[in-house]
Structures are given as structure tokens and as C-alpha cells.
């Protein structure tokens, strides 16, 4: 057994050097050279200031912006996570009912509107950067009102939103979605240029 333990230690050390240091460090070097933007988190800077990452959702509560999905962690990535409420959870039921009412009220929608499930249920990571196109569409009138858009500008806003819809990747993978942060940044510049 003593020989086995000694052999084990030697093999583990060699393996650690190779798979635990050389492999990740070489991969980091390659990643930083070939894909520096992605490797560092697809960060978005405006006028040199870091406003977030394309891939990490952030909270929007103001009427002038598209809202993201509910998040169990309030979009604070330390640490990421979900509510983990099961389908028979009281708390989840109450949350969903409140979210539905609030979404309809705050967006000024008819009471019988079918709110997309993405806006009723929190995401798995708590950092979902996307919403469904349907969820974005339902927010357009509220944003237009808050920004004082006329009908021409509202039509531009709708077009802008539609141009941000990403279909399934390679034509068949995943669901259609809209990146909330990118759309909101585009929305801010639309607001500036259309005035």
C-alpha cells in the first residue's frame, strides 16, 4: 500500500502540473489571443465606461427601458442562482400571480392579456440576458409613452425591437430571443437620433 500511495502522489503531481496548470494556462493564452473580447466576458463599454456584459442580464425597473425576466438573485451575480421553488410551492404561486398583475398594470395592458411565461417565472441563472420577442412586444407601448414618442417613433421602436430578435442559432438550435441590454442601448441611441 505504501508503494501505491507514493506512486499515487507522484502521478497526481505530474497530472496537476499538466492538466491543472499547463492546460488551463495555455488555453487562457490562446483564448486571450484569438478571442480576447469573448474570453473577457463580452463586456460592453459606452464612452469607455463599463456598463455590463452582453451575456449577463441586468436589472431594469424604469419605464423607459425594456424589462428583463424576474431574477431570484436580483441580477447580482455573486453568486448566480435560481429560486428553486417547485410547482407546488405557495411562494411561487404568489410570486407568479403578483408578477402577472404587475406586468399587466405597469404596461397598461388589457386585464386578460396572456403574459409570456418568461416574465412570470425567474430564470435558472438569475442572469438570463434575454426575453422572448412576445415579452418585448408587450412592453413597447409603455416605453413609447414614457419617452413621449409619437406614432412614427413608436413604429421605429417596434422595428428596432424586431431587428434585435435573434432566431434559432444555425436555423434550428434554441428559441427566439431578444437581448435586453443590447436592445436598451440601441433604444437610448434611437431616442437621441429621432429627436
Partner 1 sequence: MLIATFGIFGTHDAIQIGVFLLALILLTPPLGGFMVKVFSGERNFLTPVFGGLERSFYKISRIDPDQEMDWKTYLLAVIAFSLVGLVVLWLLQVTQAYLPLNPERLPNVSWDLAFNTAVSFMTNTNWQSYAGETTLSYFTQMAGLTVHNFVSAAAGMAVLLALIRGITRKSVEGLGNFWADLVRMTLYVLLPLSVILTVILVGQGTVQTLSGYAHATTLEGQKQVIAVGPAASQIAIKQLGTNGGGFFNANSAHPFENPTPLTDFLELLSIILIPSACVYMYGKMVGSKRQGWVIWGVMVSVFCIMLGISLYSEYNFHPPYVSTPSMEGKETRLGITNSILWEVTTTVTSNGSVNSMYDSLTPLSGMIAMVDMMYGEVIFGGIGSGLASMLLFVLLTVFIAGLMVGRTPEYLGKKIEAYEVKMSVIGVLAPGAAILIFTAIASITKVGLSSLNNGGPHGLSEILYAFTSGAANNGSAFTGLNANTVFYNITMGIDMLIGRFVPIAAYLSVAGSLAGKKAVPPSAGTFPTDSVLFGFLLIGVIVIVAALTFFPVLALGPIVEHFLMLVGKTF
The 165-166 sheet, strands edge to edge:
130-131, 177-179, 165-166
Binder of partner 1 out of 48, 110, 111, 114 (CB under 8 A): 114
33 touches partner 1 by CB under 8 A: no
- Among the residue ranges 79-87, 101-109, 139-147, 148-156, the one whose residues contact partner 1 (CB under 8 A): 79-87
128 touches partner 1 by CB under 8 A: yes
157 touches partner 1 by CB under 8 A: no
DSSP 54: T
For residue 151, the minimal CB distance to partner 1 (Å) is: 26
110 touches partner 1 by CB under 8 A: no
Name which of residues 39 to 58 contact partner 1 (CB under 8 A): 39-43, 49-58
Binder of partner 1 out of 106, 146, 155, 176 (CB under 8 A): 176
Nearer to partner 1, 102 or 150 (CB): 102
Rounded to the nearest 10 degrees, what angle do helices 151-163 and 180-193 cross at?
Answer: 150
- Do 134 and 114 contact (CB within 8 A), yes or no? no
Name which of residues 136 to 155 contact partner 1 (CB under 8 A): none
Nearest 5°: the CA angle 47, 52, 58 is 135
Nearer to partner 1, 86 or 110 (CB): 86
Q: How far apart are CA 65 and CA 179, in angstroms?
A: 12
Tell me how many residues contact partner 1 (CB under 8 A): 100
Amino acid at each position: 500500500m505504501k508503494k501505491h500511495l507514493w506512486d499515487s502522489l507522484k502521478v497526481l503531481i505530474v497530472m496537476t502540473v499538466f492538466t491543472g496548470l499547463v492546460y488551463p494556462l495555455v488555453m487562457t493564452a490562446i483564448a486571450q489571443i484569438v478571442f480576447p473580447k469573448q474570453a473577457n466576458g463580452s463586456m460592453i463599454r459606452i464612452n469607455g465606461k463599463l456598463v455590463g456584459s452582453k451575456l449577463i442580464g441586468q436589472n431594469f425597473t424604469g419605464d423607459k427601458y425594456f424589462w428583463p425576466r424576474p431574477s431570484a438573485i436580483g441580477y447580482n451575480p455573486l453568486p448566480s442562482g435560481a429560486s428553486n421553488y417547485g410547482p407546488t410551492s405557495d411562494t411561487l404561486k404568489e410570486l407568479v400571480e403578483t408578477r402577472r398583475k404587475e406586468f399587466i398594470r405597469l404596461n397598461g395592458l388589457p386585464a386578460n392579456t396572456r403574459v409570456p411565461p418568461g416574465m412570470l417565472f425567474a430564470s435558472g441563472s438569475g442572469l438570463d440576458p434575454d426575453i422572448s420577442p412576445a415579452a418585448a412586444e408587450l412592453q413597447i407601448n409603455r416605453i413609447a409613452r414614457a419617452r413621449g414618442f409619437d406614432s412614427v417613433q413608436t413604429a421605429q421602436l417596434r422595428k428596432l425591437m424586431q431587428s434585435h430578435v435573434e432566431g434559432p442559432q444555425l436555423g434550428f438550435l434554441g428559441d427566439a430571443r431578444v437581448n435586453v441590454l443590447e436592445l436598451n442601448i440601441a433604444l437610448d441611441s434611437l431616442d437621441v437620433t429621432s429627436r
